[in-house]
Homo-oligomer: A and B are copies of this chain.
Amino acid sequence: MISAGTTLRTMRERKPLVHQITNYVVMNETANATLAIGALPVMAHAREEVEEMVQIASALVINIGTLSERWIESMLLAGKAASARPIPVVLDPVGVGATAYRTDTARRILDEVDVTVLRGNAGEVATLVGAAAEVRGVESMSTGMEPAELARAAARSLGVIASVTGPVDHVSDGDRVLAVSNGDPLLATVTGTGCMSSALTGCFLAAKPEEPLEAAAEALAAFGVAAEDAATGAAGPGTFHARLYDALYALDPATLGERTRIEEL
């Protein structure tokens, strides 16, 4: 059942630990988004400790935004440990389609780890399902599929919940498709807001692991509501960015449900 407010309330009561192996660019930002929404972030990437850290975590977020060999090794170790427990795993395939290294790494993680939610932009997800896509660095420029169909196709072919973000977000388990239309254009002017949405997806999954489709959509809707609040009074990307943490922190479980715009297609 979709109820972002209930999931948020549960998360704030439990304060789940969300283990993140993410890129250098956004570590501070995803940790702060995690804290602001009400969960606890931990960043750990050494192969010597990732499996142990996974044992005390309630969700794992893997983000391939700045890759190198040792980090990939740790992502796989952590991902397998998470699959074994099991706890939910979010994969953010940053920049897939821009280089073979990123595409190959994302595929390898999807093969070897039981990924719960794949959260990416349309170009990244289209690349992973073998559809036409143009990815410029970490930006999706165009794809050959409608996003709702892309989400459904990705979920089916990759065996995940596919969470495709854009002006409207589409989340699918391969059967159902939920469209989320919260958000603000200023999100696209700040680096790492996609990565933040993946981190928040991990937080919501930790609070409602039994309904990952709903949890993934609720996370995007909650983030979008916060973005709407942050945009009010922001003078541009910098003040919007600061206000985004204020808004995540101020999200009210009692009213969140009325404000989310999640529609089943």
**A interface list, Cβ under 8 A from B:** 15, 17, 19, 23-29, 31-32, 35-36, 40-46, 48-49, 52-53, 56-57, 65-70, 95, 98-102, 136-139, 189-192, 234-239, 241-247, 249-250
Which chain B positions have C-beta within 8 A of A191?
28, 31-32, 35, 41
**Do residues B238 and A244 form an inter-chain contact, with CB atoms below 8 A?**
yes
Min CB–CB distance A206 → chain B (angstroms): 12
* B56:A68 contact, CB within 8 angstroms: no
Q: Is the CB of A43 within 8 A of B70?
A: no
- Which of B31, B49, B234 lies in contact with A99, CB distance below 8 A? B49
The answer to whether B239 and A56 have CB atoms under 8 Å apart is no
User: Nearest 8 A-B pairs (CB), nearest first?
Assistant: A236-B246, A42-B137, A238-B245, A49-B101, A238-B242, A31-B191, A49-B99, A236-B249
CA distance A29 to B29 in the complex (A): 11
Contact A41 B137 (CB under 8 A): yes
Q: Among B28, B42, B245, which residue has its beta carbon within 8 angstroms of that of A237?
A: B245
A102, B245: Cβ atoms closer than 8 Å: no
In the assembled complex, which residues on chain B have CB atoms less than 8 Å from the CB atom of A57?
Answer: 137
Closest chain B CB from A34 CB (angstroms):
8
Q: A40-B137, A44-B99, A98-B56 are in contact. Are A243 and B235 (CB under 8 A)?
A: yes
The answer to whether A245 and B241 have CB atoms under 8 Å apart is: yes
Q: Can you report 18 residue pairs joining A to B where beta carbons are below 8 Å apart?
A: A24-B43, A28-B28, A32-B238, A36-B238, A40-B136, A40-B137, A41-B191, A42-B95, A42-B98, A48-B68, A49-B102, A53-B98, A190-B245, A234-B246, A235-B250, A237-B249, A238-B242, A238-B247
Q: Which residues of B contact A29 (CB under 8 A)?
A: 28
- Determine the residue in chain B with the shortest Cβ distance to A27: B25
Chain B residues whose CB sits within 8 angstroms of the CB of A19 once the complex forms: 137
**Interface pair B246/A36, CB less than 8 Å apart:** no
Q: Which residues of B contact A42 (CB under 8 A)?
A: 95, 98, 137-138
